[in-house]
Amino acid sequence: MDTRKYRLQQQEAAKKVVTTDDFPQTEFTAGADQAYSEGKIISAIAVLDKNLELVEAQTAVTEENFPYIPGLLYFREGPAIASAYGKLEHKPSILMIEGHGILHPLRIGIASHIGVALDIPTIGVAKQLICGEPDKNGRITYEGEARGMAIKTKEYSKPIYVSPGHRISLQTSIDIVQKSIIAPHKLPEQLHVARKIANKAASLHP
């Protein structure tokens, strides 16, 4: 596949990314995660309140029309996430997405791209790095910019990698993720719940 046109789209979207805090104060935050079933992508979004209790969940199903290519996850999973988000009655202050924000070679991982596309505040939470290396304090700098943080949330487990997506700063992203961890879960509760919902929906999908 010739990916040049997608890279160009990423470069244009990257120009619009904002990494300062610009989000409404509501009692809701959310997580988006995806599962796969027989050529379909099932996106689940879980909206939680300040006590990290589930208040709403929505799912959406799209065709698996784009291959898995590292760095281009938005074009594979973005449409399903956007569809599920459009169904929400309780719009969250922040949407966490399993994937990277600006911790990406072009500064436009799936969390940032979704944020720009929907004009919503987002945080990227990933389990694998695609650029940069943490320093001794966990901070990840790439091309001279602090773009993310490695956070160890579970003993004897690899860290998760947190980066701002859109309309939020790195420090606020870190703070929100850390406050959203409920032991023994490795991921923030928003993503942990979204993953369970996505997997259940995939298991029921014909």
Spell out the residues 6+ positions from residue 51 whose beta carbon is closer than 8 angstroms to its own.
none
In a domain, 90, yes or no: yes
**What digits encode the pLDDT tens for the residues 6-15?**
999 999 999 9
Does pTM surpass 0.95? yes
Question: In this structure, what CATH number is given to the domain that contains residue 142?
Answer: 3.30.2170.10
**What digits encode the pLDDT tens for the residues 41-88?**
999 999 999 999 999 999 999 999 999 999 999 999 999 999 999 999
DSSP 176-188: HHHHT--TT-SS-
> What average pLDDT does the structure give for the chain?
96
d(CA 72, CA 7): 8
Domain that residue 137 falls in: 16-204
Contact 125, 187 (CB under 8 A): yes
**Total structural domains within the chain:** 1
